[in-house]
A = this chain, B = another copy of it.
Amino acid sequence: MISFTCDYSEGAHPLILKRLQETNLQQEPGYGDDRFTRSATAKIREATGCPKAGVMLLCGGTQTNATVIDALLPHYGAVIAAQTGHIAVHESGAIEFSGHKVVTLPSHRGKMAPEELKAYLEKFYAAPSWPHMALPRMVYISFPTEYGTLYAGEELKALKSICERYGMPLFIDGARLGYGLASPAADVTLPELARLCDVFYIGGTKVGALCGEAVVFPRGNAPEHFFTIVKQHGALMAKGRLTGIQFDTLFTGDLYMEISRHAIEMALRLKKAFADKGYPFYTDSPTNQQFPILTETQMKALEGKVLFEVWESLPDGRAVTRFATSWATTPEQIRELESLL
C-alpha cells in the first residue's frame, strides 16, 4: 500500500543518514555550538542572501511557531492569522498557552488578503475601545499555505508594507518552504522572501529531514536572548549536531531545492492524473499538497491500496481529500496511483 497521507511519512534524505553515520563519533559541544550547526548557519546565510541573518535550529513546527511568536510579541500582543492558519487550528492552543490571542481574518484558499488586513487594522484602531482589546502586533502567514496556495511577491510586499505601517513583524511559517519556492507558480526566490518578512523558518521535517526547522531573522534582528527564550520553551536540543548535520546537508549543493523540485514534479504529475480523469479540485494548488474532490465510490475504490487524508466532508457526500507528495515520492508510486484512478 502506498501513502500520500502526508509529507512526513518517510525518514530522511539518504545523504543526511550518510552524514550522520560519518560524523557519529566526532565529539562536539552541545546546544548548537557544534561545527555542523555553525556550517549550516553559514550556508543558510548564503542561500538566503542574508549575511547577517540570525539562524536558530529548532525541532518541530508547532514548537517553532509558539517560540517565535512568543519571543516577538509583547505581553499584550495578539497575532493575526488567516482562519485556516495552522496556529489557529491545529496547534492545540499552543499560542494561547504562552499567553497570546490569535486573531483570525477570512481565509482565501488559505491566504490572508492584504486589503482585509488593512481594513481590519483601520477598524480596530478606529474603535475608541481598542485599548481594551488584545493589540494586534504580529502577522502570521504560511508559504505555501495549508491549502497548498502561494502568496505572490506583490501580495507579500503589500502585507509587509501594512505590517511596517503598524509596527508589526511579518512572520512566514515555512514548514513546507521548499515546496513553495520550487513550484513553477512561485514568483519569489528564497532571498526575495527573506527580504519581504521579518522572520521565517525553513522547514526541515517535511522537506527531507528527520526533524528540524531553521528559524531565520534575515537582518540579524533576533530578539535579545533568543537562545534563552528557546530553552525556556523546551525547544533547545542538547545534541544540536542532529539538526546541524541535517541542515548542513540540505544546504550543501542546492540539495534542499533539488529535492523540493522533485516533490513538485511528482505533485504536478499526480494533479494531472486526477485532472485527466475529470476529478474537480478544491483549490488549484501549485505545490506538493493536492486537494482533489472524490465521491464515496471513488474513495472506496482506493481503499486498501492508497492512503490519503480526508480534509473536509462536503454536504453532497463527496469529500475534499489531500494527497501530499514529498522528496521521497517515487515515479512508481505516481504511476500506481494513475493506474488506480
User: Which residues of A does B touch, CB under 8 Å?
Assistant: 2-3, 5-6, 8-12, 14, 17, 20-21, 23-31, 59-64, 66-67, 70-71, 74-76, 78, 89-94, 96-102, 126, 128-129, 131-135, 205-206, 210-211, 224-225, 227-229, 231-239, 241-242, 307, 310, 313, 328
**Assembly CA distance A239 to B228 (angstroms):** 26
Known: A75-B70, A232-B134. A60 touches B237 (CB 8 A): yes
Contact, CB under 8 Å: B62 / A231: yes
Residues of chain B with a CB closer than 8 A to A228's CB: 76, 92, 131-135
Other A-B contacts than A9-B27, A10-B26, 20 sampled, CB-CB below 8 A, are: A10-B24, A10-B27, A11-B20, A11-B25, A17-B17, A17-B20, A62-B231, A62-B234, A70-B75, A76-B93, A76-B232, A78-B93, A92-B134, A93-B232, A97-B232, A131-B228, A131-B231, A211-B238, A233-B234, A234-B234
B101 near A93 (CB under 8 angstroms)?
Answer: yes
A210 to B134, CA, bound (A): 26
Say yes or no: A23 contacts B11, CB within 8 Å.
yes
CB-defined contacts of A24 to chain B, threshold 8 Å: 10-12, 14, 17
Task: Specify which chain B residues have a CB less than 8 angstroms from the CB of A126 in the assembled complex.
Answer: 313
Q: Verify A92–B2 contact, CB threshold 8 A.
A: no
Please determine whether B211 and A132 come into contact, CB atoms closer than 8 angstroms.
Answer: no
Query: Hey, which chain B residues are within 8 Å of A23, CB to CB?
Result: 11
Q: Smallest CB–CB gap between A33 and chain B, Å?
A: 11
A26 CB, min distance to chain B CBs, angstroms: 7
Q: Compute how far the CA of A206 lies from the CA of B236 in the bound complex, rounded to whole angstroms.
A: 15
Q: Is the CB of A93 within 8 A of B134?
A: yes
Whether the pair B8, A238 counts as a contact (CB closer than 8 A) is yes
For A236, list chain B residues within 8 Å (CB): 60, 62
In the assembled complex, the Cα of A11 lies from the Cα of B98 at a distance in Å of: 32
B10 touches A30 (CB 8 A): no
Instruction: List the B side residues contacting A135 at CB < 8 Å.
Output: 225, 228
Q: Can you list the 9 inter-chain pairs with the closest CB atoms, starting with the nearest?
A: A93-B134, A63-B234, A11-B24, A93-B101, A92-B231, A92-B232, A9-B27, A96-B101, A3-B27
